[in-house]
Each structure stands twice: as C-alpha cells, then as structure tokens.
Structure 1
Amino acid sequence: MNLLITSKEQILQELTDIDIFLNITMSENAEEAVLRGNDLAVYVARTGKLLADSKYWLNKARNSEVLETLRETAKNAKATAKAVNALVDSICREEQYLVDWCDRCNRTATHQLSWCVTIISKAKEEMKLGRLVPQNSR
C-alpha cells in the first residue's frame, strides 16, 4: 500500500498557517461568511487528513524498537505500567502535540463553518423579511 503521509515538518507548517486563519475574527457580513466558509470547508478536510497523518507518526513513535526495548527494560526493573506509559508519553510528546493541535484546528474550523452557515441563514431570513414589508410602511 502506497501511503501519502505528510511529514511531521509539513504538518507543523500547515497547522501554523491554518491556525493563523482560524484566529481571524469574522464580521457578520454574509458575503464574508460565504468566502470564509469556502476556505473553512477545505481546512476541515485538510486538518482531518493531517490528524490521521499525525496519528500515524505518533503510533510509529510509540511502536518503535527503542520504545519496545525501553518497555521491556522497565518491566524487568519492576516499573509499574503507569510509570512505563508516562515515560513513553514523555518520549512521544512532540507527536502527541501534533495530534492534539490537528484535532483542535479541525474542531475549530468545523465550529467556525457552522457559524458561517448561521450568518448566511440570518442574512437570507432578513432578505426574505425585507421583501414581505409593504412599500408604503417604509
């Protein structure tokens, strides 16, 4: 199987760019919501892929030969499972950070996309109500 896994460096760069976009405050302008929503839809998809890729790197790090040797050594030294897991988590902290950041960006983009839909729906409703108001009452 030919996997197209994004490198950890590329994941970090893309998340930095996406995070900058996600930290922009949007107005309640419907046209802006449409444009931003188009970008957010792409970012939801991309961060989902980056999340899968970052989990690949985390699983690869956790299952490396070095960590397996470390687990065995710790077991032989009578270390508790909790201590061994804490050590593994510490060693894999960068990969876990990428997973957490991808997840956070994906959720944020999803919530912002929902907000765009709300703004667009509000504008549609206001337009509909504007057409219902008789001309003489304006």
Structure 2
Amino acid sequence: MNLLITDKEQIYKELTDIDSFLNITMSEEAAEAVQRGNDLAVYVARSGKLLADAKYWLNEAKKTEAMQTLEQTAKMNKVPAKAVNAIIDSLCKEEQYLVDWCERCNRTATHQLSWCVTVISKAKAEMQMSGTYNNRNQRQ
C-alpha cells in the first residue's frame, strides 16, 4: 500500500502557515468573508489530512516506543500497564503535540468558516432590507 503521508517537518511547516492565517482578525466586510471563506475551506481540508498524517506518525512512534519499553520492562520486575502507557505517552510527546495542533487548526478553521457564512448572510440580509438585493436581481 502506497501511503502519501506528509513527513513531520512538513506538517510543522504547514501548520505554522495555517496557524498564522487563522490568527488574522477578519473585518465584517462580505467580500473579505467570501475570500477568507474560500481560503478557510482549503485549510479545513488540508488540516484534516495533516491530522490523519500526524496520527499516523503518533501511532508509528507509539508502536516503536511500546516495543522498546515492553522489552525493557520485561527485563525488570513487573511494571503495571498504566505505568508503561505513561512512559510511552511521554516518549511520544512531539507526535502527540502535532496531533493536538492539527485538531486545533482544523477546529478553528471550521469555526471561522462558519463565521464567514454568518457575515455573508448578514450582508445579504442588509442588502435585502435596503432593496439593493432585489434591484440587483431584477436587472440580471
């Protein structure tokens, strides 16, 4: 199976770019909301893919760390499974961070996209109330 998994360094780079975009405050202008909404739709899709890729890397790291940790603990006295899991989680903190960041970016982009829809709907309602919307539609 040929998986197209984004490498961890590229995930960091893309999340940094996405996060920078998500930290821009949007005005309540409908034209800006349309443009930003288009960009956000792409970021929602991409951050979802990056999330899947980050989970892949987390699972790979846990698999590797689990085997090594289990081998080490087997040589020692019996260690509770909860302690082994805590050790594995701490060894995979960078991969978990990537997963958490991807989830946050995806969730933030989704909420901002909803906000864009709200701004566009508000502008449409204002145009309808002012009669601009109906006049514009009649001319077309």
1:125 alignment counterpart: 125
Where 1:63 maps in the other structure, the secondary structure is helix
Where 2:118 maps in the other structure, the secondary structure is helix
Shift of 1:44: 0.1
1:63 alignment counterpart: 63
Question: Structure 2: how far apart are the matches of 1:9 and 1:82?
Answer: 31
Where 2:131 maps in the other structure, the secondary structure is helix
- Unmatched 5+ stretches in structure 2: 133-140
Shift of 1:114: 0.1
User: For residues 46-71 of structure 1, what are the alpha-carbon distances to aligned partners after superposition, in whole Å with 9 as ceiling and x for unaligned?
Assistant: 0000000000000001111x531312
User: For residues 74-113 of structure 1, what are the alpha-carbon distances to aligned partners after superposition, in whole Å with 9 as ceiling and x for unaligned?
Assistant: 2552111111111000100000000000000000000000
1:135 alignment counterpart: none
Question: Structure 2: how far apart are the matches of 1:9 and 1:46?
Answer: 15
User: For residues 6-46 of structure 1, what are the alpha-carbon distances to aligned partners after superposition, in whole Å with 9 as ceiling and x for unaligned?
Assistant: 00000000000000000000011100000000000000000
Taking structure 1 as the reference length, the TM-score comes to: 0.91
Question: Structure 2: how far apart are the matches of 1:121 and 1:96?
Answer: 38
**Identity, % of aligned pairs?**
71
Amino acid at match of 1:111: H
Cα RMSD after superposing both structures: 1.3
The residue correspondences of 1:10-89 to structure 2 (distance < 5 A) are: 10-64=10-64, 66-75=65-74, 77-89=77-89
2:135 alignment counterpart: none
Question: Structure 2: how far apart are the matches of 1:71 and 1:28?
Answer: 55
- Unmatched 5+ stretches in structure 1: 133-138
The alignment of Structure 1 onto Structure 2 pairs a total of residues equal to 131
Where 2:24 maps in the other structure, the secondary structure is coil
Where 2:3 maps in the other structure, the secondary structure is coil
After TM superposition, the runs of 4+ consecutive aligned structure 1 residues lying more than 4 A away are none
Question: Structure 1: how far apart are the matches of 2:70 and 2:51?
Answer: 26
Larger mean CA deviation between 71-80 and 97-106 belongs to 71-80
1:3 alignment counterpart: 3
